[in-house]
């Protein structure tokens, strides 16, 4: 169910683009992201920082795309989002000596501090990879190709999440579930 909630704005965006144009698709994405955020809030009774940032960026870049009638804004929004997340995680870890990933997820997963640090570096690398690949496709390919990339590009987060799960699993005791305090020495 959660995957469908996460996926439906991009699915509607692609469908609207295929049926109309990038500007209609942008408006659909803006509305779908508002609905998605409302659904997440209704289910969880709170929004995570990434969800709030995503909503703000979709609305701001969407408005710029529509008001200026310039598709570059919506195409570069993912690059700005991913690069911003990498910068925030990196600055927190290496400058402020805070692990935001552990702060956000520590109540759900009990992992050794060194694992949290490695996991954060992995997330920084993932965000930089996603920012770079979106920037490359946005800069060097047509809007049609970029929209298609947004659809099939969902393989990257799926592979990342599965890989991250496999990495974390070895630090949990048999029979333990995330969040119950399991740690492996």
Cβ proximity of 109 and 165 under 8 Å: no
Per-residue pLDDT of the chain (185 residues; tens, 9 = 90+): 777 888 899 999 999 999 999 999 999 999 999 999 999 999 999 998 888 989 999 999 999 999 999 999 999 999 999 999 999 999 999 999 999 999 988 888 889 999 999 999 999 999 999 999 999 999 999 999 999 999 898 899 999 999 999 999 998 765 445 444 444 33
DSSP output for 88-114: HHHHHHHTS---HHHHHHTTT----HH
- Would you give the DSSP letter of residue 71? T
What is the model's pTM? Answer: 0.83
Burial of 127 (0-12, 13-18, 19+ CB in 10 A): buried
Residue that the structure tokens 């590009």 belong to? 153
């Amino acid at each position: 169910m959660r995957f469908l909630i996460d996926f439906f704005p991009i699915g509607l965006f692609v469908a609207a683009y295929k049926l109309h144009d990038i500007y209609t698709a942008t408006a659909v994405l803006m509305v779908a992201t508002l609905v998605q955020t409302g659904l997440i809030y209704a289910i969880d009774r709170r929004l995570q920082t990434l969800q709030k940032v995503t909503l703000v960026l979709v609305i701001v870049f969407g408005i710029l795309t529509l008001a200026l009638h310039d598709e570059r804004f919506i195409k570069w929004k993912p690059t700005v989002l991913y690069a911003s997340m990498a910068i925030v995680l990196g600055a927190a870890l290496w400058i402020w000596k805070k692990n935001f990933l552990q702060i956000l997820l520590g109540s759900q997963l009990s992992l050794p501090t060194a694992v949290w640090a490695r996991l954060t570096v992995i997330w920084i690398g993932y965000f930089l990879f996603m920012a770079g690949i979106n920037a490359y496709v946005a800069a060097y390919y047509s809007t049609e190709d970029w929209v298609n990339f947004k659809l099939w590009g969902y393989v990257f987060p799926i592979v990342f999440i599965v890989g991250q799960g496999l990495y974390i699993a070895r630090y949990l005791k048999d029979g333990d579930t995330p969040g119950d305090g399991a740690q492996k020495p």
